Amino acid sequence: MSNIRLIDTHSHIDMIEQISIDEVLDNASANDVEKVILPCAYPKDIDRIIDITEKYDNVFAYLGVHPSEARDWDDSICEKIENHVSSGKKVVGIGEIGLDYYWDKSFNDIQKDVFIKQISLANKLNLPVNIHDREAHKDTFDIIQANNKNSTVIMHCFSGSVEFARECIKAGHYIALGGVVTFKNAIKMKEVAADIPLDRLLLETDAPYLTPVPYRGKENQPAYVRFVAEEIAKIRGMSLEELAGITTQNAERIFGF
Ligand code: NI
């Protein structure tokens, strides 16, 4: 029996096209991935994501609206999410929320507004926040600092410098790393992986995107979080088992599952 225990803390298993969710989760189990957290991006997906978590024991949900979809926000979404949480659904955080200045900068103010509303919701429900920050490091960080009272902050798919990672750590945040760390030219991400305290590190795939080496270019899936773990273990000169164990304990501590 394997002593390796992994958790994929951000995986859009509902967007994987080439294999079914059953196959996705079988592959995950075969690669020692015990749990998967499925983030919500679109308001229309909230109920569907809850249905998936009801069907599969080891799938948990982040509910929220992605910054790129911020124009579809309406305040009734808060009530909808609250209802799922209060009725005991498997919601472990609010996400993915944040700022994305990469695709479209024309509605930054709406993104900020919707981000702040969702931080408040997470605070009210005492749930962690799963943060999407793409080319918006400063604004994302400042909004969290100014508005977050009590939620654990996870910087999903961290893409900043070592300096920014240290700033996040100092503020008490967690850093989640994915497939990019395995890319040969991802010098900055390898530096971050070497630098951050292990008790603040989480692993993820962001499947179906950002597939790690050796499957880069193909469709991603939670099983491949193992390659992320292997790369970071190598960078830090430790065993896969140890790195996997620590990051899994971090996730268990944050999410209480
Ligand atoms: Ni995502």
What is the tens place of the pLDDT at every residue in 163-210? Answer: 999 999 999 999 999 999 999 999 999 999 999 999 999 999 999 999
User: What does the alpha-carbon distance between residue 181 and residue 201 come to, in Å, rounded to a whole number?
Assistant: 13
- Which residues make Cβ contacts (< 8 Å) with residue 201, sequence separation at least 6? 174, 175, 176, 177, 193, 232, 246, 247, 250
| CATH level 3 topology of 6-255 | TIM Barrel (3.20.20)
Phi, psi of 160 (to 5 degrees): -90, -170
**pLDDT score for 1:** 58
H or E stretch covering 219: none
Residue-wise pLDDT tens digits, 27-72: 999 999 999 999 999 999 999 999 999 999 999 999 999 999 999 9
Helix H segments across 40-159? 46-55, 76-86, 108-125, 137-147
Mean pLDDT of 75-99: 97
Q: Which DSSP symbol is given to 10?
A: S
pLDDT value at 237 more than 80: yes
Compute the distance from residue 1 Cα to the ligand 1 centre, in Å: 32
Compute the distance from residue 238 Cα to the ligand 1 centre, in Å: 28
**Average pLDDT, rounded, for the chain:** 97
CB 207 within 8 A of CB 16: yes
**pLDDT score for 103:** 87
Compute the distance from residue 4 Cα to the ligand 1 centre, in Å: 25
Selection from 132, 97, 95 nearest residue 116 by Cα: 97
Compute the distance from residue 31 Cα to the ligand 1 centre, in Å: 21
Compute the distance from residue 10 Cα to the ligand 1 centre, in Å: 6
Compute the distance from residue 131 Cα to the ligand 1 centre, in Å: 9
Q: Give the Å distances, CA to CA, from 242 to 3, 136, 156, 212.
A: 9, 33, 22, 20
**pLDDT score for 91:** 98
What percent of the chain is modeled with pLDDT above 70? 100
Compute the distance from residue 47 Cα to the ligand 1 centre, in Å: 17
Start-to-end CA span in the chain (Å): 22
Sign of CA dihedral 251, 52, 226, 67: negative
Helix H segments across the chain? 21-30, 46-55, 76-86, 108-125, 137-147, 162-170, 187-195, 225-236, 240-255
pLDDT value at 2 more than 90: no
If one compares 104 and 109, the residue with the highest pLDDT of the two is 109
Selection from 73, 71, 80, 1 nearest residue 48 by Cα: 80
Compute the distance from residue 82 Cα to the ligand 1 centre, in Å: 21
Q: Which DSSP symbol is given to 52?
A: H
Residue-wise pLDDT tens digits, 106-155: 999 999 999 999 999 999 999 999 999 999 999 999 999 999 999 999 99
Compute the distance from residue 18 Cα to the ligand 1 centre, in Å: 18
Which pTM value belongs to this model? Answer: 0.97
Beginning with the edge strand found earlier in the chain, give each strand of the sheet holding 201-203 in spatial order.
Answer: 6-8, 33-39, 59-63, 91-100, 129-134, 153-156, 174-177, 201-203
Cα atoms in the Cβ-side hemisphere of radius 13 Å centred on 123: 13
Compute the distance from residue 173 Cα to the ligand 1 centre, in Å: 18
pLDDT value at 97 more than 90: yes
Compute the distance from residue 248 Cα to the ligand 1 centre, in Å: 19
Instruction: Give the number of residues written for the chain.
Output: 257
